[in-house]
């Protein structure tokens, strides 16, 4: 069965510093991979997605993620964090032929001044 | 395009009562999904519809849960005889099947508290 691991429950980053959120997945083939962000009282918003092609994908709000097959990872990065980036971030995987998304447990990002 | 909407946003009910939630997807989206999110966890898939047909159900969807999408537009999720363990955020999402990698657009959720 598919699974997604986000090893960091909380991360605190200073405003202006770089950010990397880790995501590892368990799946036999190349999955569809996603990063979503959830702010309090808001629904999940898609930051970026990967299926094939260039392993470095660009998303909205200055985020990017890199797919590394050898490490079964899809880490999210941002070069300079803004206070408005404070939120919960979820990595998700989708199996080819099925419609459901399987989410990790999330990483809560705190941004310090 | 006003996005996915869900009503109510919050619901407090007593154990044993029935509750019903509504989801209005983005217009013309033919797929609609329900997920459940408990505190400290990521969303977990419950079920999805293509038009009015319910095509996949999770084992999480016990006999007390029923979902409908009668005209292929809005959907309802009913929980009968609620239990404290049903307390969670219930998320709805919709997508337009185009044959490619489709994005699921999420609503703000309905937070259920069972006392």
Is A43's CB within 8 Å of B101's CB? no
Minimum CA–CA partner of B42 in chain A: A105
The distance of B18 to chain A (nearest Cα, Å) reads: 24
- Residue A66 to residue A76: CA distance in whole angstroms: 7
B17 has pLDDT over 80? yes
B1 has pLDDT over 70? no
Instruction: Check if the beta carbon of residue A54 is closer than 8 Å to that of residue A44.
Output: no
Phi then psi for residue A61, to 5 deg, are 60, 25
Q: Which residues of B have a CB under 8 Å from any CB of A? A: 3-4, 31, 33, 35, 40-45, 48, 55-56, 58, 91, 93, 101, 103-109
The partner residue sitting opposite B48, judged by closest CB among A4, A43, A100, is A100
Minimum CA–CA partner of B107 in chain A: A43
pLDDT per residue over A87-96, tens digit each?
Answer: 999 999 988 7
The distance of A42 to chain B (nearest Cα, Å) reads: 5
The distance of B7 to chain A (nearest Cα, Å) reads: 13
On the question of a cis peptide bond just before residue A91, with omega within 30 degrees of 0, the verdict is: no
Per-residue pLDDT, averaged over B85-95, amounts to 96
pLDDT per residue over B52-76, tens digit each?
Answer: 999 989 988 889 999 999 988 999 9
Is B41's CB within 8 Å of A106's CB? yes
Task: Measure Cα distances from B93 to A55, B24, B50, B109 in Å.
Answer: 27, 9, 12, 9
Element (H, E) at A92: strand A87-94
HSE-CB at B47 with a 13 A cutoff on CA atoms is 20
Minimum CA–CA partner of B103 in chain A: A46
Alpha-helical runs (H) found in chain B: none
Split at pLDDT 50, 70, 90, the class of A28 is low
- Residue A34 to residue B24: CA distance in whole angstroms: 23
């Amino acid at each position: 069965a598919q699974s997604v691991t986000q090893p960091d429950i909380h991360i605190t980053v200073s405003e202006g510093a770089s950010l990397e959120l880790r995501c590892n997945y368990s799946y036999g083939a190349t999955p569809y991979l996603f990063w979503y962000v959830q702010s309090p009282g808001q629904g999940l918003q898609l930051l970026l997605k990967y299926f094939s092609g260039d392993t470095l994908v660009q998303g909205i709000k200055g985020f990017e993620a890199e797919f590394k097959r050898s490490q079964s990872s899809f880490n999210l990065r941002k070069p300079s964090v803004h206070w408005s980036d404070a939120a919960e971030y979820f990595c998700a995987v989708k199996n080819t032929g099925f419609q459901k998304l399987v989410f990790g447990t999330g990483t809560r990002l705190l941004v310090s001044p | 395009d006003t996005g996915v909407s869900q009503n109510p946003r919050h619901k407090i009910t007593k154990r044993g009562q029935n509750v019903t939630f509504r989801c209005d997807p983005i217009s013309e989206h033919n797929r609609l999904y329900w997920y459940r999110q408990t505190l400290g966890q990521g969303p977990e898939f419950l079920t999805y519809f293509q038009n009015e047909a319910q095509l996949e159900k999770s084992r999480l969807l016990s006999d007390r849960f029923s979902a409908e999408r009668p005209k292929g537009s809005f959907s309802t999720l009913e929980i009968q005889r609620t239990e404290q363990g049903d307390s969670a955020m219930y998320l709805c999402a919709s997508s337009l099947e185009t044959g490619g990698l489709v994005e699921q657009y999420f609503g703000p959720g309905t937070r259920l508290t069972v006392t």
